[in-house]
Chains A and B, each alone.
Chain A
Amino acid sequence: MSKGSEIITNEISNTMDRSGDQTMDRTMDQTMYQTIDRKTAHLIEMTGICKFYEMGDETVRANDNINLIVEKGEFLSIVGKSGSGKSTLMNIIGALDVPTSGTYLLDGEDVGRMNDNQLADFRNRKIGFVFQQYNLLPKLTVQENVELPLLYAKVSRKERSERAMEALVRVGLESKASNMPNQLSGGQQQRVSIARALAGSPSILLADEPTGALDSRTSIQILEFFKQLNEEGNTVIMITHDSSIALQARRVARITDGTIDFDGKAEDYARII
């Protein structure tokens, strides 16, 4: 987003805040974002995203008409209670699932129309997953774990090794490259997980409760690390149920009962909770 449009948007946000109508806030914000920045392609553009399930006779509306725009370089956290629909949204963002209706564009590619193989390739190239439970493969070494996305991208052995080592250097764990995951602490494992996510040079880092399995001290370290990565230019989207964690990001979107009922700066979110 250009500096100029950013200032304008903020001004309008502030004006809307003063009017006190939150629903208006959201809609106006979105419209402002859209009209002012039409010329610049957004990194993520989600319009009217719906995900409905049939459970017996009932239709569960996990995601109901969600609109979300994310620009390159943002640090966004999506916060919500369990059952709010945040996991469903995350799955759609991460191309693990397709919406029932609505459009999801990432880097200009329409994810909603993709078939299974295309989704797999898309995930591989564009999404850097960081899971709650680190999710490292226990029988592979640290380096082999980090290489995994590159393996599926059909990168040559030599290049794989180089890029994996680069990623490990980035997270400060190059010395542990030949270790097995179970020889590392929780915090180290999570950092390996982040290295794995970075190795493929994805468009976004998508972190699902990244501190969920860590103690508070390590959690702080990891969050600091995310901030650092964001400052280096990575786009980070973090999903969490914990508002205090959510506030570590710069922008917060709250999802309740399948819709986004707050989307704005972290400071503003801090005020309403």
Chain B
Amino acid sequence: MRESFNLALKSIWGNKMRSFLTMLGIIIGVAAVITLVSLVNGYMGYMTESFTSMGTNQINVNLMNMSTRFVTEEDMYDFYDEHQDIFIQMTPSVQVSGSVKAGSEQLSSTSVTGVSEEYADMKGYKMETGRFISYPDISTRQKVAVIGYFDACQYFGSPENAIGQKLKINGYAFFVIGVVQRQDEDELEEGGSDDFVLIPYSVACKMSRSSIPSNYTFATKDTSVSEEAADILETYLEEVYRNDDLYTVTAMSELLDSLNEMIAMMSLLLGGIAGISLLVAGVGVMNIMLVSVTERTREIGIRKALGARRSVIMQQFVIEAALTSVLGGLLGIALGSAISIVIGPMLLQTETPPTAGAVIISFGVSVAIGLIFGYMPASRAAKLNPIDALRSE
């Protein structure tokens, strides 16, 4: 067996150019599979991460409150109290549209959202300075605001300076009572994750068109009870609204699941397409092996005359084919990995290291290709009649 290996290596090395050209198909096929799968996985992973940062244990509820069918925040809080075993946090969420001014400067990109005192916990916000909105603020409708790190620095110089400063929201004066710790380590920019203004939802409701919040976010105990929680919410809302067009319950975990499914499908699809190129490469290997067998007919005849059994001849050629494929596979893996590591960040702004699964499968496939596509030519070689073989040129 070892001799066959040595023989195969010698043969491959002896015909460097031809061996390389044969391998090329496999190299390209494997590199393609690895690059595509890694790129897709890397990007999707990045998207999942952003998703996850929004909280996979959260459930979003959107309501269309009608005059006859509606849910007030009190109703919601009652519901929340009744299901403390499942829900750990809840906040209404009221968007305020309008102008925000700090002194004479217009905060054009900043969103203003009315939230409850539990919002900070839900988002995992820690305070840089000052404090977050509290229940008394909400119940007494205080015009207080908590701002993001970017806004503090941009409009007030520093978080410390921002405390006590005035913000004019739609003409109303709000006092800054807290600045949230910096969220984005790399960039502080407009519209980024440090650019926001939070006010008590009770105040926001007063300022907006409808006086009852139409959006709530619940946090469940953990992701595993998300489905159950969503069901409970749906049941409750169904009772009130009687028409499921009037409300939407979205569990983040469900979204994440469907996203993961989609990633898996995409990977499979792309991998499959690239896999077709591997098939073609295999045919290339088989082709060259057939040529090789024909060229070496005389040699095979001599070996057989000297006592080589069919199995030995078979082994020689199958190993040669397999070795060619495996070498091609290894080179392809190296190439594909190099490309994923270099191109990914350039193209998609995120790290895309080679996916382990793709590497293993590609390697396995290249071995299989060598064995399968090497079998037929090897079989031909083994079955040669030594008398005829010796006669041929």
CB nearest neighbor in A for B393 = A133
Given contacts A135-B298, A135-B302, A151-B3, contact A120 B390 (CB under 8 A): no
By the criterion CB–CB under 8 Å, are A135 and B307 in contact?
Answer: no
| A residues near B299, Cβ cutoff 8 Å | 137
From B298, B307, B390, A123 is in contact (CB under 8 Å) with B307
Indicate if B310 sits at the interface (CB-CB under 8 A).
yes
- B:1-45 near A, CB below 8 Å: 3, 10-11, 14
Give the interface size bracket for A toward B. Answer: 20 to 34
Cα distance A97–B305 in the bound complex, in angstroms: 11
By the criterion CB–CB under 8 Å, are B310 and A117 in contact?
Answer: yes
Given contacts A131-B390, A151-B3, A152-B312, contact A139 B307 (CB under 8 A): no
| A residues near B303, Cβ cutoff 8 Å | 148, 152
- A:75-129 near B, CB below 8 Å: 91, 94, 96-97, 116-117, 120-121, 123-125, 129
Query: Smallest Cβ distance from A242 to chain B, in angstroms?
Result: 19
Query: Smallest Cβ distance from A67 to chain B, in angstroms?
Result: 23
Given contacts A96-B387, A131-B390, A139-B14, contact A121 B307 (CB under 8 A): yes
By the criterion CB–CB under 8 Å, are B306 and A123 in contact?
Answer: yes
| B residues near A124, Cβ cutoff 8 Å | 306-307
By the criterion CB–CB under 8 Å, are A148 and B306 in contact?
Answer: yes
Cα distance A152–B311 in the bound complex, in angstroms: 11
Query: Smallest Cβ distance from A86 to chain B, in angstroms?
Result: 13
Indicate if B386 sits at the interface (CB-CB under 8 A).
yes
By the criterion CB–CB under 8 Å, are B308 and A152 in contact?
Answer: yes
Given contacts A135-B298, A137-B299, contact A152 B305 (CB under 8 A): no
Given contacts A137-B299, A139-B14, contact A97 B304 (CB under 8 A): no
Indicate if A149 sits at the interface (CB-CB under 8 A).
yes
From A96, A121, A125, A139, B305 is in contact (CB under 8 Å) with A96
Cα distance A137–B386 in the bound complex, in angstroms: 15
Contact with A along B286-326 (1 / 0, CB 8 A): 00000000000011001111111111100000000000000
| A residues near B306, Cβ cutoff 8 Å | 123-124, 129, 148-149, 152, 196
Query: Smallest Cβ distance from B15 to chain A, in angstroms?
Result: 10
Query: Smallest Cβ distance from B237 to chain A, in angstroms?
Result: 79
Cα distance A153–B308 in the bound complex, in angstroms: 9
By the criterion CB–CB under 8 Å, are A137 and B302 in contact?
Answer: yes
By the criterion CB–CB under 8 Å, are A120 and B307 in contact?
Answer: yes
CB nearest neighbor in B for A197 = B306
Cα distance A117–B307 in the bound complex, in angstroms: 9
Of B302, B305, B307, B311, most A-chain CB atoms within 10 Å: B307
| A residues near B3, Cβ cutoff 8 Å | 151
- A:151-175 near B, CB below 8 Å: 151-153
| B residues near A116, Cβ cutoff 8 Å | 309-310
CB nearest neighbor in B for A126 = B307
Cα distance A189–B387 in the bound complex, in angstroms: 21
By the criterion CB–CB under 8 Å, are A120 and B302 in contact?
Answer: no
Cα distance A200–B55 in the bound complex, in angstroms: 78
By the criterion CB–CB under 8 Å, are B307 and A152 in contact?
Answer: yes
By the criterion CB–CB under 8 Å, are A120 and B304 in contact?
Answer: yes
By the criterion CB–CB under 8 Å, are B309 and A117 in contact?
Answer: yes
Cα distance A91–B386 in the bound complex, in angstroms: 10
| B residues near A149, Cβ cutoff 8 Å | 306-307
Cα distance A135–B304 in the bound complex, in angstroms: 12
CB nearest neighbor in B for A135 = B302
Query: Smallest Cβ distance from A111 to chain B, in angstroms?
Result: 14
CB nearest neighbor in A for B313 = A120
By the criterion CB–CB under 8 Å, are A153 and B307 in contact?
Answer: yes
Cα distance A94–B386 in the bound complex, in angstroms: 11
| A residues near B387, Cβ cutoff 8 Å | 91, 96-97
By the criterion CB–CB under 8 Å, are B307 and A125 in contact?
Answer: yes
Of B303, B305, B387, most A-chain CB atoms within 10 Å: B305
From B11, B14, B298, B308, A120 is in contact (CB under 8 Å) with B308
Cα distance A148–B307 in the bound complex, in angstroms: 9
By the criterion CB–CB under 8 Å, are A129 and B305 in contact?
Answer: yes
| B residues near A151, Cβ cutoff 8 Å | 3
CB nearest neighbor in A for B308 = A152
Contact with A along B354-393 (1 / 0, CB 8 A): 0000000000000000000000000000000011001000
Query: Smallest Cβ distance from A157 to chain B, in angstroms?
Result: 9
Query: Smallest Cβ distance from B106 to chain A, in angstroms?
Result: 82
CB nearest neighbor in B for A97 = B387
Cα distance A178–B390 in the bound complex, in angstroms: 25
Cα distance A87–B387 in the bound complex, in angstroms: 10
By the criterion CB–CB under 8 Å, are A135 and B309 in contact?
Answer: no
CB nearest neighbor in A for B307 = A124
From A120, A139, A200, B10 is in contact (CB under 8 Å) with A139
| B residues near A153, Cβ cutoff 8 Å | 307
| B residues near A129, Cβ cutoff 8 Å | 305-306
CB nearest neighbor in A for B382 = A116
| A residues near B298, Cβ cutoff 8 Å | 135
Query: Smallest Cβ distance from B314 to chain A, in angstroms?
Result: 12
From B14, B312, B390, A135 is in contact (CB under 8 Å) with B390
Other A-B contacts than A129-B305, A131-B305, A139-B11, 18 sampled, CB-CB below 8 A, are: A96-B387, A97-B387, A116-B310, A117-B309, A120-B304, A120-B307, A120-B309, A123-B305, A124-B306, A124-B307, A131-B390, A135-B390, A137-B302, A148-B303, A149-B307, A152-B303, A152-B309, A196-B306
Q: List 14 A-B contacts (CB under 8 A).
A: A96-B386, A121-B307, A123-B305, A123-B306, A124-B307, A129-B305, A131-B390, A135-B302, A149-B306, A149-B307, A151-B3, A152-B303, A152-B308, A200-B307
Q: CB within 8 Å of A: which residues of B?
A: 3, 10-11, 14, 298-299, 302-312, 386-387, 390
Instruction: Sort A-B residue pairs by CB-CB distance and give the 3 closest, nearest first.
Output: A124-B307, A152-B307, A120-B309
